[in-house]
Amino acid sequence: MLASKRILLGITGGIAAYKTTFLTRLLIKAGAEVRIVMTESAGDFVSPLTLATLSRNPVHTAFIREEEGTTDWNNHVELGLWADLMLIAPATANTLSKMASGTCDNLLLGCYFSAKCPVFFAPAMDLDMYRHPATRESIEKLQGFGNILIPAASGELASGLEGEGRMAEPEEIVRQLEQGLLARMPWKGKHVLITAGPTYEPIDPVRFLGNHSSGKMGFELARAAAERGAKVTLVTGPTGEEIAHPLVICIRVRTAREMLDAARSHFGAADVVIGAAAVSDYRPAEIRDQKIKKAAEELELKLVRNPDIIRTLAGEREHQYIVGFALETENEAANALEKLRRKNLDAIVLNSLRDSGAGFGGDTNKVSFVDKNSQITPFELKSKAEAARDILHEIDKRISK
């Protein structure tokens, strides 16, 4: 569950901070990438050097980097946005109160207020502090914000008192993170089939017909679907993109016909199908055995139609929700709707080459989600990762009705 998750661990100043060394090791062992921010007082309990060594990343404590001669600062917004999950452990009464009231007077709190990911917090304090109505109120308020409480355990406390207030043990924290993530995976049990990238249609042993698709959009869709807990089969044409996610199987093909065969063999198991590939509509009628020599002034290549992958699959539809893409250069909405109907799709994602930053190659896209009831939901220019999440959110709204 935690493999390749980006975890931002926030450590505040309590004796339980020493346990974060074990916690960090467990997270790294589980395959997570861990970055750590700590408050100044946390540094009195556990050394940043130890944590930097265990997490294999520099540990941040202040907004401004302390190295001599630099004007660099630790960008709390960037760290907050980087994280797939933020964990504040131990969370002292002081930090809980600041989180609940909106006080932002250190880097850790800056990261917390900037984080868009699920935030887990593991309180640790003395018995009476944990019981105090002010602390209870902070915890309830944070839960109301959607933050996830990892409750303190009972036992012997550093003060010598017995009772509730000990930070949950590192193993228990990891278990609760995994459970919390699982509960937030709305597509657990679903299977998503995605086509991505270009197709290469060979002309001779050295040449092919292809296009500028990099595969980025389709790969981001695969990542986003896996983040939702779905099993993903990604059928991609030639691309330099890589994906390493336990829920994603990546099948690499070259031609449209190979893409169709691969997609077809996984279609039966799929619940959602997304055609993000830029498939070549035609292929050379014959593939020459030898490299075509430069001779005559003109060369004619006879092309024949390739199968339409998404249309073929839609024709064999059982229960699948099928979404195509439309890359347009004019009359965008009308063309997209016409394509949706002609290919018998449930929805189509429109991107236009007239929008700068949209379409092929780059890391951004500007898409509109168009459904079969002609409802059009436009989105701003965003990273392809964010655009992918928007697309899945739109699909989710329609399949969970």
Nearest to 367 by CA among 334, 399, 359, 375: 359
Reply yes or no on whether 211 is catalytic.
Answer: yes
Question: Using CB under 6 A, which residues numbered 233 to 272 contact ligand PMT?
Answer: 256
Question: Using CB under 6 A, which residues numbered 320 to 359 contact ligand PMT?
Answer: 324-327, 339, 351, 359
Residue 380 Cβ vs ligand PMT, minimum distance, rounded to whole Å:
16
Binder among 217, 230, 250, 337 for ligand PMT (CB under 6 A): 217
Binder among 169, 258, 271, 281 for ligand PMT (CB under 6 A): 281
Q: Catalytic one among 211, 306, 331, 365?
A: 211
- Separation of alpha carbons 233 and 81, rounded Å: 27
Judged by CB under 6 A, which stretch of 11-19, 43-51, 172-180, 319-327 contacts ligand PMT?
319-327
Q: Give the residue with the Cβ less far from ligand PMT, 36 or 277.
A: 277
Q: Give the residue with the Cβ less far from ligand PMT, 32 or 349.
A: 349
Report how far apart, in Å, the C-alpha atoms of 10 and of each of 51, 104, 118, 129 are.
Answer: 12, 14, 13, 20
Binder among 119, 277, 347, 391 for ligand PMT (CB under 6 A): 277
Residue 276 Cβ vs ligand PMT, minimum distance, rounded to whole Å:
5
Q: Give the residue with the Cβ less far from ligand PMT, 8 or 322.
A: 322
Question: Using CB under 6 A, which residues numbered 163 to 202 contact ligand PMT?
Answer: 195, 197
Binder among 110, 165, 215, 237 for ligand PMT (CB under 6 A): 215
Strands 6-11, 85-91: pairing kind: parallel
Q: What burial class does residue 305 get, using C-beta atoms within 10 Å of its C-beta: 0-12 exposed, 13-18 middle, 19+ buried?
A: exposed
> Which residue do the tokens 């009195």 mark?
44
Q: How many CA atoms lie within 13 A of 197 on its CB side?
A: 22
Binder among 361, 374, 378, 397 for ligand PMT (CB under 6 A): 361
Q: Give the residue with the Cβ less far from ligand PMT, 122 or 358.
A: 358
Q: At what angle are helices 107-114 and 93-101 packed, to 10 degrees?
A: 50
Phi, psi dihedral angles at 177 (to 5 degrees): -65, -45
Nearest to 129 by CA among 163, 103, 104: 163
- DSSP E strands: which ranges in 240-297? 248-252, 272-275, 282-284
Residues that contact ligand PMT, how many (by CB under 6 A): 27
Does position 230 interact with ligand PMT (CB under 6 A)? The reply is no
- Separation of alpha carbons 281 and 304, rounded Å: 8
Residues 6+ apart with CB under 8 A from 173: 23, 87, 89, 120, 122, 150, 167
- Separation of alpha carbons 107 and 120, rounded Å: 17
Judged by CB under 6 A, which stretch of 40-48, 56-64, 113-121, 207-215 contacts ligand PMT?
207-215
Binder among 214, 320, 364, 368 for ligand PMT (CB under 6 A): 214
Q: Give the residue with the Cβ less far from ligand PMT, 123 or 359.
A: 359
Active-site annotation, residues: 211
Q: Which residues lie near ligand PMT (CB under 6 A)?
A: 195, 197, 213-217, 256, 275-279, 281, 306, 308-310, 324-327, 339, 351, 359-361
